[in-house]
Amino acid sequence: MGCFDTLNFTCPACGKPTSEQSKAGNCSLDNFTLDNAPLTVIADINDDGKNGSLYCEHCNTQLELEVCFIAIPRIRGAETTDDDWRSV
């Protein structure tokens, strides 16, 4: 039996919580949301969406992830908060 990580998110069609498994990255049976998932997990599930194999487990709507990356220059070693990117 293989290990995997799970990405939990809300289906935009039916509004119910749904999940998708990923075998990318560390695969330590962790549960993630779109806010805290490693990029490797998101990229793996994003590939499923691009290939047409990502569906809501409740309403069977075909889904894909829209991925937007933010790069923020920071001072090395400086203390920052999660909301610092909002002021850039």
Domain ranges of the chain: 5-87
**75-88 pLDDT tens trace:** 887 776 655 555 44
pTM: 0.70
Going residue by residue through the chain, which has 88 residues, state the pLDDT in tens, using 9 for 90 and above: 578 999 999 999 999 999 999 888 788 888 999 889 888 888 888 888 788 888 999 999 999 888 777 777 778 877 766 555 554 4
**Strand, helix or coil at 77?**
coil
Tell me, what amino acid is at 74? R
DSSP state of 29: S
What one-character-per-residue DSSP string does 50-63 give?
HTT--B-TTT--B-
